[in-house]
Structure formats: structure tokens, C-alpha cells
């Protein structure tokens, strides 16, 4: 019996090896496994990193007056920005800038918050008065100043300080409850996603120098305007497309590769030849899964290497390799299921194309699911590729815990596909 198990393993491993060799040695095999991923990665990278929109800056001006017109200071700021190297584009006030940055590449948004104009005005007035007061202070302390003059100067200063307090009180009172609080610092908010935006540091530098200029031109005093940078990236510096392209490839490879091999084997009588040996249906299925999983890991390594070398991404961890293998099993199972359900080799090829390609586009491979229409989103969440992309994304660049839920879903799909696939695979002819 022990000998028997051993020989079963030998049979499966030999068949898996043969399937793999047969595929890798074919021109289509080599193309899909090695060249196509390289091409696609390069294409995507070029398409989304082109020089034309490299220094685009989206500006969202929330500082509008009662008539919805931009305030004077915000307009002049935008004018100043436009005269710089930056290519200014506007986005409407009702767009969620965070989402905007998160789900696109190379987009950063500068938000001019409400009250920007008022804060600048208040701050610069305060700064002017402060200068005046400190000048008066200097005078008062001089010994040559006569007492009468000094008294009147002190009372004048007190008046000025009251006036200053009053102004601040007016401004803040109209907006809320606080009185006598110092005027708020005028702020600008730059939203970027450092994981996808390879030029954000340059943009930030340009903006910082503009802000400094603005400060100086207003008055020679620091700290009336500050720019804050908000990085919405939740991931390490990575290629945004790597997980989804990887997942899409393993999916197409699994579905089209497996069903293609089975269809080809049927057409060529090779399947019949294998059926006439003691090889069992289960061994045939396992051998296919082994071959496809190994193929998927080769495919993944090639793509990761390109991403690391050419795009400077970080190396994925071991957990994501496990996710990759589960994904490969899942989609090989789907390929077996299609091949088992249909008899005609042409029908098998047709059906697997008809399933794989729509799935690739519906599962957020090329655009975020969040940006899709609502009912398209519900379709996406019924597709295994969605969970595969999600699990891969989480395991590669976020945390393994986050990957757990999607990975479980993926594994569930894998079990269903493999079970149905082996149930439907007939190990006899008609």
C-alpha cells in the first residue's frame, strides 16, 4: 500500500511537470507567462506616469463669499500658483478631495479652506499692530521720553490693544462663540498619496516656496500662513497596479490556461490516452492544479521582479505568496469547472474567454471598485477576482490581518470550484 501511494505521487508529479514543460515550451505559453506581463506593466506605468500631467495640481477653493465667488486673497493665491511651474486645474467644492486622491494616480489636491481670506486679513492686521506695539514699547523704555508723552503713549497702546482684541472678537464672534481668541492661522491643505505619486515631493517644494513668498509679501513677519501636507497613502511606497495586475494575470492564466490545456488534450486525443492508463480523475485534476500553481508563482515572480527593478517597489512578503497560491488554485478550479461542464473543445475555449475577460474588468483591476456604479459594485463583490485583488493588496502592502477576510472568501471560492470541477470532470468518454 505504501508503495502504491508513492507511485501515485510519482504519477501526479510527472504529469504536472510534463504539463508545465509543454506549456512553457510553447510560444504562446512563454508569451503569456513572461512577455505579456512585462508589456502590460510597462504600458500601465507609462500610461499613468506620463510627463504631461506630472506637475498637475488640482485646487479646490472652499473659500467662497456669500455669492459663491472666490474671496480676494484666495483668488490672488491661485493667480500666484498659476504663474509657477505647476499646472493648475480646478475641482468643484462638492467633491471629496480625499477620495479623489486615493483612487487615482498622480493627483494631488490643494484645498483652500473656508475662512482663508479672513484669517489672512486678521493675521496680517494683528501682525501690523504687533509691530506697532513693539515699536512703541521701545520708545516707552527710552529714558529721554518725557513722562507726559509716555503716559499718553501707554494709553494709546492700550487703545490699540483693545482695538486688536475687538477685531478678533468680531471675526470669531461672527463665526462662532469664542471671543478674544487670537486669530486662527491661515492654512492650506495639500492632499497627496505618496504611495502612487512619484512627484509629490517636487510639487510640495514648489508650493512651500510660494507660501513663503506670500508670507513675505504680506508683511515681514512669520506664521500667518501655513501649509499642511496630508498623505492619504495607507500603503508603503508601491506600485498601485502590481497586486491587481498580478491577480488578473493569475486569474486569466488559471482559467484560460487550464481550460485551454484540457480542451487541447481533448482535441488531440491525449486525454483519452491518459484515461486509458491507471491515472485517476483526481490525479489528473491535482496534476493540473500543481502545474498551474507553479506557473502562477513563476508569473508572479517575473512581475514582482520587474516592479522591484523598474518601479522601485518593495518586495512582497511570504503571506502574499500564500495568497497567490490560493488564487492560482481557485482559478485553476474554475478552469477545470468550465472544461468539465462543457464537452466541445471550442465551447470550452469560448466560455472561458467569456468569463475571464469581463471578470477582469468588473473586479477593479484597472480602476477602483469605489469609483464604479453601485450595481456594478454588487457584481464585483460576487466575483472571486475582487477578493483576490483585495487579499493581495492587503497582504502585500497593508497587514495580513486585513487580508484574512478576503483570503477566506477566495479560499471558499477555490473549494467550491475545485469540488464542482472534479465532480463535473468525466473520466470516461461518451
Partner 1 sequence: MENAIEVVNLVKSYSGKNVVDGISFNVKKGMIFALLGPNGAGKTTTIEIVECLRPLTSGSVRVLGYNVGDRRDEQEIKRRIGIMPQEFRALDKLSVRENIELFSRLYPYHSSSKDVDEVIRAFGLEEYSNVRFERLSGGIRQRLGLAIATIHDPEILFLDEPTTGLDPTSRRQVWAMIRALKDSGKTVVLTSHYMEEVEYLADEVAIMSKGRIVASGSPQDIASRYGTGRRLTIRGYSRSRLLASLANSSNTLGDTLTLSMDRLDSMLIAEIVDMAIRDGLEVQFKNPSLEDAFLRLVGRIDEDGRLIING
Q: What distance in Å separates the CA atoms of residue 79 and residue 61, rounded to the nearest whole number?
A: 12
Footprint (CB under 8 A) of partner 1, residues 120-149: none
Binding test (CB under 8 A) with partner 1, winner from 2, 25, 142, 373: 25
Q: How far is CA 119 from CA 59, 124, 130, 227, in A?
A: 19, 8, 16, 14
Nearer to partner 1, 148 or 269 (CB): 269
Q: What is the DSSP string of 213-247?
A: HHHHHH-S-S-SEEEEEEE---S-S--TTHHHHHH
Query: 289 or 394: whose CB is closer to partner 1?
Result: 289
Handedness of CA 318, 260, 42, 98 (dihedral sign): negative
Candidate residues 2, 66, 373, 428; the one interacting with partner 1 per rule CB under 8 A: 428
Nearer to partner 1, 207 or 290 (CB): 290
Among 203, 279, 319, 392, binds partner 1 (CB under 8 A): 279
Measured from the CB of residue 2, what is the shortest distance to partner 1 in angstroms? 12
Q: Which 57-76 positions form the footprint of partner 1 (CB under 8 A)?
A: none
Q: Does 15 bind partner 1 (CB under 8 A)?
A: yes
The smaller minimum CB distance to partner 1, of residues 162 and 268, is found at 268
- Residue where the block lists cell 499613468: 48
Exposure string of 148-185, with b = 16+ CB inside 10 Å and e = fewer, is eeeeeeeeebeeeeeebeebbeebbeeeeeeeeeebbe
| Residue number, 187 or 281, with CB nearest to partner 1 | 281
SS3 of residue 137 by DSSP: helix
Residue 270 interacts with partner 1 (CB under 8 A)?
yes
**Bridge partners, residue 188, by sequence:** 227
Q: Smallest gap, in angstroms, from Cβ of residue 205 to partner 1?
A: 55
Q: Looking at 79, 162, 226, 272, which residue binds partner 1 (CB under 8 A)? A: 272
For partner 1, the binding residue among 79, 90, 162, 268 (CB under 8 A) is 268
Counting residues that bind partner 1 (by CB under 8 A) gives 28
Q: Which of 14, 317, 371, 399 binds partner 1 (CB under 8 A)?
A: 14
Report the distance separating Cα 74 and Cα 181, nearest Å: 23
Considering the complex, what minimum distance in angstroms separates the CB of residue 29 from partner 1? 8
Say whether residue 94 binds partner 1 (CB under 8 A): no
Q: How far is CA 321 from the centre of its chain?
A: 20
Q: Which residues pair with 187 in a beta bridge?
A: 226
92 sits near partner 1 (criterion: CB under 8 A): no
* Minimum distance from residue 35 beta carbon to partner 1 (Å): 17
Residue 184 neighbours by CB under 8 Å, 6+ apart: 115, 119, 122
Q: Using the rule CB under 8 A, which residue among 51, 141, 147, 430 binds partner 1?
A: 430
Residue among 276, 375, 382, 401 that touches partner 1 (CB under 8 A): 276
Piece of 17-25, 160-168, 234-242, 411-419 that binds partner 1 (CB under 8 A): 17-25
Grid cell, residue 217, equals 509679501
Minimum CB–partner distance for residue 300 and partner 1 (Å): 23
Between 92 and 278, name the residue whose CB sits nearer to partner 1: 278
CA neighbor of 429 nearest in space, from 285, 272, 279: 272
Please give the order of strands across the beta sheet that includes 225-231.
87-90, 56-61, 109-112, 186-192, 225-231
| Nearer to partner 1 (CB atom), residue 74 or residue 259 | 259
Do the Cβ atoms of 258 and 332 come closer than 8 Å? yes
The tally of CA atoms less than 13 A away on the side-chain side of residue 346 is: 0
Q: How far is the CB of 24 from partner 1 (least distance, A)?
A: 8
Residues interacting with partner 1, by CB under 8 A?
A: 3-4, 7-8, 10-11, 14-15, 18, 21-23, 25-26, 268-270, 272-279, 428-430
Amino acid at each position: 500500500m505504501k508503495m502504491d501511494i508513492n507511485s501515485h505521487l510519482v504519477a501526479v508529479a510527472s504529469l504536472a511537470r510534463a504539463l508545465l514543460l509543454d506549456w512553457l515550451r510553447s510560444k504562446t505559453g512563454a508569451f503569456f507567462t513572461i512577455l505579456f506581463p512585462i508589456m502590460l506593466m510597462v504600458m500601465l506605468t507609462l500610461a499613468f506616469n506620463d510627463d504631461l500631467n506630472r506637475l498637475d495640481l488640482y485646487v479646490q477653493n472652499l473659500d467662497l463669499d456669500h455669492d459663491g465667488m472666490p474671496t480676494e486673497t484666495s483668488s490672488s493665491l491661485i493667480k500666484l500658483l498659476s504663474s509657477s511651474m505647476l499646472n493648475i486645474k480646478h475641482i468643484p467644492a462638492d467633491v471629496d478631495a480625499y477620495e479623489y486622491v486615493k483612487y487615482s494616480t498622480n493627483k494631488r489636491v490643494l484645498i483652500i479652506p473656508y475662512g482663508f481670506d479672513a484669517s489672512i486679513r486678521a493675521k496680517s492686521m494683528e501682525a501690523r499692530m504687533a509691530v506697532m506695539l513693539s515699536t512703541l514699547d521701545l520708545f516707552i523704555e527710552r529714558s529721554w521720553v518725557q513722562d507726559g508723552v509716555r503716559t499718553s503713549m501707554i494709553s494709546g497702546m492700550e487703545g490699540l490693544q483693545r482695538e486688536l482684541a475687538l477685531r478678533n472678537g468680531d471675526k470669531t464672534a461672527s463665526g462662532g462663540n469664542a471671543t478674544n481668541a487670537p486669530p486662527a492661522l491661515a492654512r492650506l491643505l495639500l492632499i497627496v498619496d505618496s504611495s502612487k505619486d512619484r512627484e509629490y515631493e517636487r510639487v510640495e517644494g514648489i508650493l512651500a516656496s510660494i507660501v513663503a513668498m506670500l508670507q513675505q509679501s504680506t508683511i515681514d513677519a512669520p506664521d500667518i500662513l501655513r501649509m499642511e501636507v496630508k498623505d492619504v497613502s495607507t500603503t508603503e511606497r508601491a506600485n498601485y497596479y502590481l497586486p491587481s495586475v498580478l491577480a488578473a494575470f493569475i486569474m486569466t492564466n488559471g482559467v484560460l490556461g487550464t481550460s485551454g490545456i484540457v480542451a487541447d488534450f481533448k482535441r488531440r486525443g491525449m486525454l483519452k490516452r491518459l484515461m486509458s492508463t491507471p491515472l485517476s480523475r483526481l490525479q489528473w485534476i491535482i496534476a493540473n492544479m500543481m502545474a498551474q500553481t507553479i506557473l502562477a508563482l513563476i508569473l508572479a515572480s517575473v512581475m514582482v521582479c520587474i516592479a522591484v527593478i523598474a518601479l522601485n517597489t518593495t518586495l512582497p512578503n511570504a503571506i502574499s505568496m500564500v495568497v497567490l497560491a490560493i488564487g492560482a488554485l481557485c482559478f485553476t478550479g474554475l478552469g477545470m469547472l468550465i472544461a468539465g461542464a462543457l464537452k466541445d473543445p471550442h465551447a470550452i475555449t469560448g466560455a472561458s474567454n467569456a468569463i475571464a475577460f469581463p471578470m477582469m474588468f468588473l473586479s477593479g483591476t484597472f480602476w477602483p471598485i469605489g469609483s464604479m456604479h453601485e450595481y456594478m459594485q454588487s457584481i464585483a463583490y460576487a466575483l472571486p477576482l475582487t477578493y483576490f485583488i483585495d487579499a493581495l493588496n492587503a497582504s502585500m502592502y497593508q497587514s495580513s490581518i486585513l487580508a484574512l477576510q478576503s483570503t477566506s472568501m477566495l479560499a471558499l471560492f477555490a473549494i467550491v470550484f475545485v469540488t464542482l470541477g472534479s465532480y463535473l470532470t468525466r473520466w470516461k468518454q461518451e
